[in-house]
Amino acid sequence: MEKFVIEGGHRISGSVSISGAKNSALPILAATLLSDEPSVIKNVPNLRDITTMIKILRTFGLRVLSGNGTIRVEPRGYNQCIAPYKLVSTMRASICVLGPLLAKKGFAQVSLPGGCVIGPRPIDLHIKGIKALGANVSIGGGYVYARAKRLHGNKVYLGGAFGSSVLATANVMMAATLARGTTIIENAACEPEVVDLADFLVKMGAKIKGQKTHVIEIQGVKRLSGAEHTVIPDRIETGTFMVAAVMTNGDIEIKGAIPDHVGAVVDKLVEAGARISIKNDRIKVCGRNRLKPINVTTLPYPGFPTDMQAQLMAAMCVTAGISIITEKVYPERFIHISELNRMGAQIMLEGSSAIVNGIPRLSGAPVMASDLRASAALVLAGLVARGTTEVHRIYHIDRGYEMIAEKLHSLGAQIRREKED
Protein backbone atom coordinates (compact mmCIF):
# COMPACT_ATOMS: atom_id res chain seq x y z
CA MET A 1 0.00 0.00 0.00
CA GLU A 2 1.04 3.57 -0.54
CA LYS A 3 0.59 6.89 1.23
CA PHE A 4 1.01 10.57 0.40
CA VAL A 5 3.40 12.60 2.48
CA ILE A 6 2.60 16.32 2.29
CA GLU A 7 4.58 19.23 3.72
CA GLY A 8 2.02 21.99 4.19
CA GLY A 9 2.32 25.72 3.70
CA HIS A 10 3.32 26.06 0.05
CA ARG A 11 1.30 28.22 -2.35
CA ILE A 12 0.56 26.59 -5.65
CA SER A 13 1.04 28.39 -8.93
CA GLY A 14 1.39 27.59 -12.62
CA SER A 15 -0.86 25.74 -15.00
CA VAL A 16 -2.46 22.33 -14.93
CA SER A 17 -4.36 20.29 -17.53
CA ILE A 18 -7.56 18.48 -16.70
CA SER A 19 -8.01 14.78 -17.49
CA GLY A 20 -11.06 13.10 -18.99
CA ALA A 21 -14.05 12.57 -16.71
CA LYS A 22 -14.12 9.18 -14.99
CA ASN A 23 -17.87 9.39 -14.47
CA SER A 24 -18.42 9.95 -18.19
CA ALA A 25 -15.96 7.33 -19.34
CA LEU A 26 -17.45 4.54 -17.20
CA PRO A 27 -21.01 4.55 -18.62
CA ILE A 28 -19.66 5.28 -22.11
CA LEU A 29 -17.50 2.14 -21.92
CA ALA A 30 -20.59 0.24 -20.75
CA ALA A 31 -22.53 1.63 -23.73
CA THR A 32 -20.14 -0.10 -26.15
CA LEU A 33 -21.96 -3.31 -25.14
CA LEU A 34 -24.95 -2.10 -27.19
CA SER A 35 -23.25 -2.65 -30.54
CA ASP A 36 -21.52 -5.44 -32.48
CA GLU A 37 -19.08 -2.98 -33.97
CA PRO A 38 -15.86 -1.56 -32.50
CA SER A 39 -15.88 1.80 -30.71
CA VAL A 40 -12.96 4.05 -29.90
CA ILE A 41 -13.10 6.19 -26.77
CA LYS A 42 -10.53 8.95 -26.35
CA ASN A 43 -9.42 11.10 -23.41
CA VAL A 44 -10.06 8.25 -20.97
CA PRO A 45 -8.23 8.84 -17.68
CA ASN A 46 -5.80 6.17 -16.50
CA LEU A 47 -7.53 5.21 -13.25
CA ARG A 48 -8.30 2.13 -11.21
CA ASP A 49 -12.06 2.38 -11.84
CA ILE A 50 -11.45 2.43 -15.59
CA THR A 51 -9.25 -0.67 -15.28
CA THR A 52 -12.08 -2.35 -13.38
CA MET A 53 -14.57 -1.51 -16.14
CA ILE A 54 -12.15 -2.91 -18.74
CA LYS A 55 -11.91 -6.13 -16.69
CA ILE A 56 -15.71 -6.36 -16.59
CA LEU A 57 -15.99 -5.91 -20.36
CA ARG A 58 -13.33 -8.60 -20.87
CA THR A 59 -15.25 -10.92 -18.51
CA PHE A 60 -18.19 -10.62 -20.93
CA GLY A 61 -15.91 -11.67 -23.80
CA LEU A 62 -15.17 -8.29 -25.38
CA ARG A 63 -11.75 -7.48 -26.78
CA VAL A 64 -10.47 -4.26 -25.19
CA LEU A 65 -7.24 -2.52 -26.21
CA SER A 66 -6.04 0.47 -24.25
CA GLY A 67 -3.11 2.85 -24.28
CA ASN A 68 -2.34 6.58 -24.15
CA GLY A 69 -5.82 7.54 -23.03
CA THR A 70 -7.55 5.73 -25.90
CA ILE A 71 -9.62 2.60 -25.50
CA ARG A 72 -10.78 0.48 -28.41
CA VAL A 73 -13.58 -1.92 -27.62
CA GLU A 74 -14.47 -4.79 -29.95
CA PRO A 75 -17.76 -6.30 -28.80
CA ARG A 76 -18.52 -8.67 -31.72
CA GLY A 77 -19.81 -12.01 -30.52
CA TYR A 78 -19.54 -11.47 -26.78
CA ASN A 79 -21.73 -13.95 -24.98
CA GLN A 80 -21.27 -13.64 -21.22
CA CYS A 81 -23.75 -11.45 -19.35
CA ILE A 82 -22.71 -11.94 -15.74
CA ALA A 83 -21.02 -9.10 -13.81
CA PRO A 84 -19.48 -10.93 -10.85
CA TYR A 85 -19.45 -9.82 -7.20
CA LYS A 86 -15.63 -9.79 -7.19
CA LEU A 87 -15.56 -6.86 -9.63
CA VAL A 88 -18.83 -5.05 -8.84
CA SER A 89 -17.95 -4.92 -5.14
CA THR A 90 -14.85 -2.86 -5.96
CA MET A 91 -16.78 -0.32 -8.05
CA ARG A 92 -20.46 0.46 -7.72
CA ALA A 93 -20.54 2.14 -11.13
CA SER A 94 -20.42 -1.40 -12.57
CA ILE A 95 -24.21 -1.36 -12.27
CA CYS A 96 -24.31 0.63 -15.51
CA VAL A 97 -23.72 -2.55 -17.53
CA LEU A 98 -27.23 -3.71 -16.55
CA GLY A 99 -29.17 -1.67 -19.14
CA PRO A 100 -26.86 -2.30 -22.13
CA LEU A 101 -26.55 -6.07 -21.51
CA LEU A 102 -30.30 -6.45 -21.13
CA ALA A 103 -31.09 -4.41 -24.23
CA LYS A 104 -28.52 -6.12 -26.42
CA LYS A 105 -28.54 -9.72 -25.16
CA GLY A 106 -31.93 -10.01 -23.49
CA PHE A 107 -30.36 -11.05 -20.20
CA ALA A 108 -28.17 -9.53 -17.49
CA GLN A 109 -26.97 -10.85 -14.16
CA VAL A 110 -25.25 -8.15 -12.13
CA SER A 111 -24.06 -8.38 -8.55
CA LEU A 112 -25.95 -6.00 -6.24
CA PRO A 113 -23.57 -3.17 -5.44
CA GLY A 114 -24.53 -2.76 -1.76
CA GLY A 115 -23.79 0.33 0.35
CA CYS A 116 -20.50 2.11 0.89
CA VAL A 117 -18.89 4.71 3.12
CA ILE A 118 -20.75 7.56 1.43
CA GLY A 119 -24.06 5.97 2.50
CA PRO A 120 -26.58 3.47 1.15
CA ARG A 121 -26.41 3.02 -2.62
CA PRO A 122 -29.82 1.56 -3.57
CA ILE A 123 -30.62 0.58 -7.16
CA ASP A 124 -34.41 0.70 -6.91
CA LEU A 125 -34.62 3.41 -9.61
CA HIS A 126 -32.50 1.36 -12.02
CA ILE A 127 -34.82 -1.60 -11.48
CA LYS A 128 -37.97 0.53 -11.72
CA GLY A 129 -36.71 1.91 -15.04
CA ILE A 130 -35.90 -1.39 -16.73
CA LYS A 131 -39.12 -2.95 -15.41
CA ALA A 132 -41.06 -0.11 -17.01
CA LEU A 133 -39.40 -1.11 -20.30
CA GLY A 134 -40.77 -4.63 -19.88
CA ALA A 135 -37.90 -6.47 -18.18
CA ASN A 136 -38.60 -9.32 -15.85
CA VAL A 137 -36.42 -8.63 -12.81
CA SER A 138 -35.64 -10.84 -9.84
CA ILE A 139 -33.12 -10.69 -7.03
CA GLY A 140 -31.41 -13.67 -5.45
CA GLY A 141 -28.06 -14.67 -4.00
CA GLY A 142 -26.84 -11.08 -4.06
CA TYR A 143 -27.51 -10.68 -7.78
CA VAL A 144 -30.08 -8.87 -9.86
CA TYR A 145 -31.33 -10.94 -12.81
CA ALA A 146 -33.05 -9.10 -15.65
CA ARG A 147 -34.64 -10.70 -18.73
CA ALA A 148 -36.57 -9.42 -21.72
CA LYS A 149 -36.90 -10.72 -25.29
CA ARG A 150 -37.13 -7.17 -26.56
CA LEU A 151 -37.69 -4.12 -24.39
CA HIS A 152 -40.50 -1.74 -25.27
CA GLY A 153 -40.63 2.02 -24.82
CA ASN A 154 -42.60 3.51 -21.95
CA LYS A 155 -42.89 6.59 -19.78
CA VAL A 156 -40.93 6.32 -16.51
CA TYR A 157 -40.47 8.73 -13.63
CA LEU A 158 -36.96 8.34 -12.15
CA GLY A 159 -37.13 10.41 -8.98
CA GLY A 160 -36.08 9.06 -5.59
CA ALA A 161 -36.01 10.44 -2.06
CA PHE A 162 -32.89 12.45 -2.94
CA GLY A 163 -33.84 13.60 -6.42
CA SER A 164 -32.72 12.34 -9.79
CA SER A 165 -30.18 9.56 -10.26
CA VAL A 166 -27.22 9.86 -12.62
CA LEU A 167 -26.55 6.18 -13.26
CA ALA A 168 -30.22 5.12 -13.21
CA THR A 169 -30.84 7.70 -15.95
CA ALA A 170 -27.80 6.37 -17.81
CA ASN A 171 -28.94 2.75 -17.47
CA VAL A 172 -32.51 3.36 -18.60
CA MET A 173 -31.41 5.66 -21.43
CA MET A 174 -28.99 2.99 -22.70
CA ALA A 175 -31.60 0.23 -22.41
CA ALA A 176 -34.20 2.37 -24.23
CA THR A 177 -31.97 2.94 -27.28
CA LEU A 178 -32.72 -0.59 -28.53
CA ALA A 179 -36.31 -0.84 -27.23
CA ARG A 180 -39.32 -1.00 -29.52
CA GLY A 181 -41.03 2.42 -29.50
CA THR A 182 -40.45 5.60 -27.53
CA THR A 183 -39.29 5.98 -23.94
CA ILE A 184 -39.71 9.14 -21.91
CA ILE A 185 -37.61 9.50 -18.76
CA GLU A 186 -39.12 12.08 -16.41
CA ASN A 187 -37.03 13.63 -13.65
CA ALA A 188 -33.97 12.50 -15.57
CA ALA A 189 -30.55 13.56 -14.31
CA CYS A 190 -28.99 16.26 -16.48
CA GLU A 191 -25.41 16.05 -15.20
CA PRO A 192 -22.82 16.72 -17.95
CA GLU A 193 -21.81 13.05 -17.77
CA VAL A 194 -25.36 12.00 -18.75
CA VAL A 195 -25.23 14.44 -21.67
CA ASP A 196 -21.81 13.09 -22.72
CA LEU A 197 -23.17 9.54 -22.68
CA ALA A 198 -26.20 10.64 -24.73
CA ASP A 199 -23.86 12.32 -27.24
CA PHE A 200 -21.93 9.05 -27.60
CA LEU A 201 -25.16 7.05 -28.03
CA VAL A 202 -26.34 9.49 -30.71
CA LYS A 203 -23.03 8.94 -32.55
CA MET A 204 -23.82 5.20 -32.38
CA GLY A 205 -27.14 5.92 -34.10
CA ALA A 206 -29.46 6.30 -31.09
CA LYS A 207 -32.35 8.76 -31.31
CA ILE A 208 -32.32 10.87 -28.16
CA LYS A 209 -33.82 14.28 -27.41
CA GLY A 210 -33.83 16.47 -24.30
CA GLN A 211 -30.62 15.13 -22.77
CA LYS A 212 -29.74 18.47 -21.17
CA THR A 213 -33.11 18.61 -19.45
CA HIS A 214 -35.09 16.63 -16.89
CA VAL A 215 -37.19 14.98 -19.60
CA ILE A 216 -35.29 12.72 -21.99
CA GLU A 217 -37.01 11.12 -24.96
CA ILE A 218 -35.50 8.06 -26.62
CA GLN A 219 -36.91 6.55 -29.77
CA GLY A 220 -35.70 2.96 -29.96
CA VAL A 221 -33.79 1.73 -33.02
CA LYS A 222 -33.06 -1.82 -34.21
CA ARG A 223 -29.30 -1.65 -34.03
CA LEU A 224 -26.48 0.67 -33.04
CA SER A 225 -23.13 1.00 -34.77
CA GLY A 226 -19.72 1.57 -33.22
CA ALA A 227 -18.57 5.16 -32.78
CA GLU A 228 -15.59 7.31 -31.90
CA HIS A 229 -15.90 9.72 -29.01
CA THR A 230 -13.78 12.02 -26.86
CA VAL A 231 -14.74 12.08 -23.18
CA ILE A 232 -15.44 15.50 -21.61
CA PRO A 233 -12.99 16.95 -19.08
CA ASP A 234 -13.52 16.02 -15.44
CA ARG A 235 -15.49 18.77 -13.69
CA ILE A 236 -14.72 17.36 -10.24
CA GLU A 237 -10.99 17.32 -10.89
CA THR A 238 -11.38 20.88 -12.20
CA GLY A 239 -13.18 21.91 -9.01
CA THR A 240 -10.63 20.17 -6.81
CA PHE A 241 -7.75 22.13 -8.36
CA MET A 242 -9.77 25.33 -8.03
CA VAL A 243 -10.15 24.69 -4.30
CA ALA A 244 -6.44 23.85 -4.01
CA ALA A 245 -5.53 27.23 -5.50
CA VAL A 246 -8.01 29.11 -3.36
CA MET A 247 -6.95 27.41 -0.12
CA THR A 248 -3.22 27.88 -0.59
CA ASN A 249 -3.65 31.52 -1.62
CA GLY A 250 -2.30 30.32 -4.94
CA ASP A 251 -2.56 31.46 -8.50
CA ILE A 252 -3.16 28.81 -11.15
CA GLU A 253 -4.50 28.41 -14.64
CA ILE A 254 -6.60 25.34 -15.31
CA LYS A 255 -6.46 24.25 -18.95
CA GLY A 256 -8.81 22.05 -20.96
CA ALA A 257 -11.84 22.51 -18.70
CA ILE A 258 -15.48 23.21 -19.54
CA PRO A 259 -16.17 26.25 -17.32
CA ASP A 260 -19.96 25.89 -17.73
CA HIS A 261 -19.76 22.56 -15.90
CA VAL A 262 -18.34 24.14 -12.74
CA GLY A 263 -20.67 27.13 -12.46
CA ALA A 264 -21.83 26.36 -8.90
CA VAL A 265 -18.25 25.80 -7.69
CA VAL A 266 -17.07 29.07 -9.25
CA ASP A 267 -19.98 30.89 -7.64
CA LYS A 268 -19.22 29.58 -4.14
CA LEU A 269 -15.46 30.14 -4.36
CA VAL A 270 -16.00 33.72 -5.50
CA GLU A 271 -18.34 34.18 -2.53
CA ALA A 272 -15.52 32.88 -0.31
CA GLY A 273 -13.22 35.58 -1.73
CA ALA A 274 -11.45 33.91 -4.65
CA ARG A 275 -10.73 35.77 -7.87
CA ILE A 276 -11.69 33.68 -10.88
CA SER A 277 -11.53 34.57 -14.54
CA ILE A 278 -12.61 32.43 -17.45
CA LYS A 279 -11.53 32.43 -21.08
CA ASN A 280 -12.67 29.63 -23.37
CA ASP A 281 -11.43 26.37 -21.80
CA ARG A 282 -9.15 28.11 -19.28
CA ILE A 283 -9.98 29.05 -15.72
CA LYS A 284 -7.63 31.31 -13.78
CA VAL A 285 -8.01 31.02 -10.03
CA CYS A 286 -6.36 33.23 -7.39
CA GLY A 287 -6.84 32.68 -3.67
CA ARG A 288 -6.74 35.16 -0.85
CA ASN A 289 -5.09 35.27 2.54
CA ARG A 290 -8.05 34.28 4.68
CA LEU A 291 -11.19 32.94 3.03
CA LYS A 292 -14.68 34.06 4.00
CA PRO A 293 -17.08 31.47 5.40
CA ILE A 294 -19.94 30.40 3.14
CA ASN A 295 -23.03 28.22 3.29
CA VAL A 296 -23.47 25.49 0.70
CA THR A 297 -26.10 22.87 -0.07
CA THR A 298 -25.28 20.01 -2.43
CA LEU A 299 -27.89 19.28 -5.07
CA PRO A 300 -28.14 17.49 -8.42
CA TYR A 301 -26.67 19.43 -11.37
CA PRO A 302 -26.56 22.39 -11.89
CA GLY A 303 -26.51 22.64 -8.08
CA PHE A 304 -23.33 22.37 -6.05
CA PRO A 305 -22.02 18.81 -6.65
CA THR A 306 -21.90 16.30 -3.80
CA ASP A 307 -18.58 15.13 -5.29
CA MET A 308 -17.10 18.55 -4.32
CA GLN A 309 -18.57 18.69 -0.81
CA ALA A 310 -15.59 17.20 1.05
CA GLN A 311 -13.06 19.36 -0.80
CA LEU A 312 -15.04 22.54 -0.10
CA MET A 313 -15.27 21.53 3.55
CA ALA A 314 -11.47 21.31 3.70
CA ALA A 315 -11.35 24.92 2.48
CA MET A 316 -14.01 26.04 4.97
CA CYS A 317 -11.87 24.65 7.83
CA VAL A 318 -9.53 27.64 7.46
CA THR A 319 -11.95 30.53 6.91
CA ALA A 320 -12.57 33.41 9.29
CA GLY A 321 -15.98 32.31 10.60
CA ILE A 322 -18.68 29.65 10.54
CA SER A 323 -19.78 27.81 7.39
CA ILE A 324 -22.67 25.40 7.06
CA ILE A 325 -22.47 22.64 4.50
CA THR A 326 -25.67 20.66 3.90
CA GLU A 327 -25.62 17.39 1.98
CA LYS A 328 -28.83 16.71 0.05
CA VAL A 329 -27.63 14.02 -2.33
CA TYR A 330 -25.89 11.58 0.06
CA PRO A 331 -27.00 12.75 3.54
CA GLU A 332 -24.44 10.46 5.24
CA ARG A 333 -21.43 11.49 3.17
CA PHE A 334 -19.41 12.94 6.06
CA ILE A 335 -16.78 10.34 6.86
CA HIS A 336 -14.05 12.95 6.23
CA ILE A 337 -15.13 15.05 9.22
CA SER A 338 -13.38 12.94 11.84
CA GLU A 339 -10.14 12.93 9.86
CA LEU A 340 -10.26 16.71 9.24
CA ASN A 341 -10.87 17.15 12.97
CA ARG A 342 -7.71 15.08 13.63
CA MET A 343 -5.90 17.89 11.82
CA GLY A 344 -7.35 20.44 14.23
CA ALA A 345 -10.48 21.38 12.26
CA GLN A 346 -13.59 22.29 14.25
CA ILE A 347 -16.47 20.56 12.51
CA MET A 348 -19.70 19.37 14.10
CA LEU A 349 -22.31 17.25 12.41
CA GLU A 350 -25.99 18.15 12.86
CA GLY A 351 -28.16 15.75 10.87
CA SER A 352 -27.07 16.16 7.27
CA SER A 353 -25.38 19.52 7.90
CA ALA A 354 -21.78 20.10 8.89
CA ILE A 355 -21.07 23.21 10.92
CA VAL A 356 -17.52 24.28 10.27
CA ASN A 357 -15.90 26.77 12.61
CA GLY A 358 -12.97 28.16 10.65
CA ILE A 359 -9.57 28.36 12.34
CA PRO A 360 -6.40 30.12 11.15
CA ARG A 361 -4.37 26.97 10.45
CA LEU A 362 -4.70 23.18 10.44
CA SER A 363 -1.91 21.03 11.78
CA GLY A 364 -0.39 18.10 9.90
CA ALA A 365 -1.30 14.62 11.13
CA PRO A 366 -1.52 11.03 9.94
CA VAL A 367 -4.98 10.57 8.42
CA MET A 368 -6.86 7.79 6.69
CA ALA A 369 -8.47 8.10 3.27
CA SER A 370 -11.92 6.50 3.30
CA ASP A 371 -13.38 7.23 -0.13
CA LEU A 372 -12.38 9.04 -3.25
CA ARG A 373 -13.54 12.61 -2.56
CA ALA A 374 -12.83 12.40 1.19
CA SER A 375 -9.24 11.50 0.28
CA ALA A 376 -9.01 14.54 -1.97
CA ALA A 377 -10.21 16.70 0.93
CA LEU A 378 -7.44 15.33 3.17
CA VAL A 379 -4.81 16.07 0.53
CA LEU A 380 -6.12 19.65 0.24
CA ALA A 381 -6.09 20.03 4.01
CA GLY A 382 -2.49 18.75 4.05
CA LEU A 383 -1.46 21.45 1.56
CA VAL A 384 -2.27 24.20 4.07
CA ALA A 385 -1.54 22.43 7.36
CA ARG A 386 1.41 23.31 9.53
CA GLY A 387 3.98 20.48 9.31
CA THR A 388 3.64 17.05 7.75
CA THR A 389 0.45 15.23 6.82
CA GLU A 390 0.47 11.56 5.88
CA VAL A 391 -2.59 10.40 3.96
CA HIS A 392 -2.89 6.61 4.22
CA ARG A 393 -4.85 4.21 1.98
CA ILE A 394 -4.51 6.42 -1.07
CA TYR A 395 -5.77 3.66 -3.36
CA HIS A 396 -9.10 5.44 -2.91
CA ILE A 397 -7.77 8.58 -4.56
CA ASP A 398 -6.20 6.52 -7.35
CA ARG A 399 -9.71 5.40 -8.29
CA GLY A 400 -10.64 8.85 -9.48
CA TYR A 401 -7.79 11.37 -9.82
CA GLU A 402 -5.24 10.87 -12.56
CA MET A 403 -1.72 11.70 -11.33
CA ILE A 404 -2.94 14.05 -8.63
CA ALA A 405 0.37 14.08 -6.75
CA GLU A 406 2.38 14.72 -9.91
CA LYS A 407 0.01 17.52 -10.97
CA LEU A 408 0.06 19.20 -7.53
CA HIS A 409 3.84 18.79 -7.36
CA SER A 410 4.25 20.49 -10.73
CA LEU A 411 2.34 23.45 -9.23
CA GLY A 412 4.77 23.71 -6.31
CA ALA A 413 3.03 21.59 -3.68
CA GLN A 414 5.31 19.45 -1.54
CA ILE A 415 3.64 16.09 -1.97
CA ARG A 416 5.18 12.70 -2.58
CA ARG A 417 3.99 9.13 -2.83
CA GLU A 418 5.69 6.62 -0.53
CA LYS A 419 5.32 2.95 0.22
CA GLU A 420 3.66 2.23 3.55
CA ASP A 421 6.09 0.78 6.13
CB count within 10 Å of CB 280 equals 9
- SS3 of 243-309: the string is HHHHHCCCEEEEECCCHHHHHHHHHHHHHCCCEEEEECCEEEEECCCCECCCEEEECCCCCECHHHH
Amino acid residing at 408 = L
Residue 26 or 383: the one with the smaller Cβ distance to ligand EPZ is 26
CB count within 10 Å of CB 215 equals 14
116 among known catalytic residues: yes
* 229 lines the binding site for ligand EPZ (CB under 6 A): no
Residue 253 or 399: the one with the smaller Cβ distance to ligand EPZ is 399
Shortest distance (Å) from residue 24 CB to ligand EPZ:
8
Amino acid residing at 82 = I
Residue 6 or 95: the one with the smaller Cβ distance to ligand EPZ is 95
**Count of positions on this chain that bind ligand EPZ (CB under 6 A):** 27
* 374 lines the binding site for ligand EPZ (CB under 6 A): no
Site for ligand EPZ in 68-127 (CB under 6 A): 93, 118, 120-126
* 26 lines the binding site for ligand EPZ (CB under 6 A): yes
Alpha carbon distance 320, 359 (integer Å): 7
CA 302 vs CA 207, 235, 257, 403: distances in Å: 24, 12, 16, 27
According to CB under 6 A, which one of 30, 98, 168, 383 is a site residue for ligand EPZ? 168
Q: Measure the CA angle with vertex 83, ends 82 and 87; round to 5°.
A: 150
According to DSSP, the residues that pair with 216 across neighbouring strands are 185
Shortest distance (Å) from residue 195 CB to ligand EPZ:
13
* 329 lines the binding site for ligand EPZ (CB under 6 A): yes
* 233 lines the binding site for ligand EPZ (CB under 6 A): no
CA 294 vs CA 272, 371, 376: distances in Å: 6, 24, 20
Alpha carbon distance 94, 83 (integer Å): 8
Shortest distance (Å) from residue 228 CB to ligand EPZ:
22
Residue 166 or 179: the one with the smaller Cβ distance to ligand EPZ is 166
According to CB under 6 A, which one of 12, 53, 197, 372 is a site residue for ligand EPZ? 372
Q: Among 314, 192, 191, 194, which Cα is nearest to 242's?
A: 314
Q: Measure the CA angle with vertex 161, ends 157 and 162; round to 5°.
A: 100
Site mask, ligand EPZ, residues 179-218, x = CB under 6 A?
A: ----------x---x-------------------------
Site mask, ligand EPZ, residues 387-406, x = CB under 6 A?
A: -------------x------
> What residues act catalytically?
116
Binding site for ligand EPZ (CB under 6 A): 23, 26, 93, 118, 120-126, 160-162, 165-168, 189, 193, 306-307, 329-330, 372-373, 400
